[in-house]
Amino acid sequence: MIHVVAIITAKPGKREEILEAFRANVPAVHAEAGCIEYGPAIDAEGMGSFQTKFGPDTFLVLEKWESVDHLNAHAATPHMKAYGAKTKDLIASRVIHVLSPA
């Protein structure tokens, strides 16, 4: 299994616009072979002082894939290319961590 944590920071005030496009794409990703988990997450509220927040312009994508081949196939799908083209001008930064279980 492969884990992915993508940290997406939107240009100021554009997070919800990116998330709208992201959510519209989720059903197509869930239908892909090898997709175990794929969804967005934002800072939880009311967690107190021990929490380090990402901030109002950032969200994470938490993913699990059966294999590296499935992840690579996901990245090459037409719906991911269309999502990338639709959101590229709204994104300030994108950091992707690909991890193996320890």
Give the separation between CA 33 and CA 65, rounded to whole angstroms.
9
Q: Which range marks the domain in which residue 86 is found?
A: 2-43+54-99
In a domain, residue 48? The reply is no
Beta strands in the chain (DSSP E): 2-10, 35-41, 58-65, 91-99
What is the CATH classification number for the domain harbouring 90?
A: 3.30.70.100
The 10s digit of each residue's pLDDT in 72-101 is 999 999 999 999 999 999 999 999 999 999
Query: What total of structural domains would you count in the chain?
Result: 1
pLDDT of residue 94: 97
- pTM for this predicted structure: 0.93
pLDDT of residue 47: 92
The 10s digit of each residue's pLDDT in 16-64 is 999 999 999 999 999 999 999 999 999 999 999 999 999 999 999 999 9
SS3 label, residue 52: coil
pLDDT of residue 78: 97
In a domain, residue 89? The reply is yes
Please, which residues have CB within 8 angstroms of residue 81's CB and are 6 or more apart in sequence?
A: none
Give the separation between CA 26 and CA 82, rounded to whole angstroms.
13
pLDDT of residue 77: 98
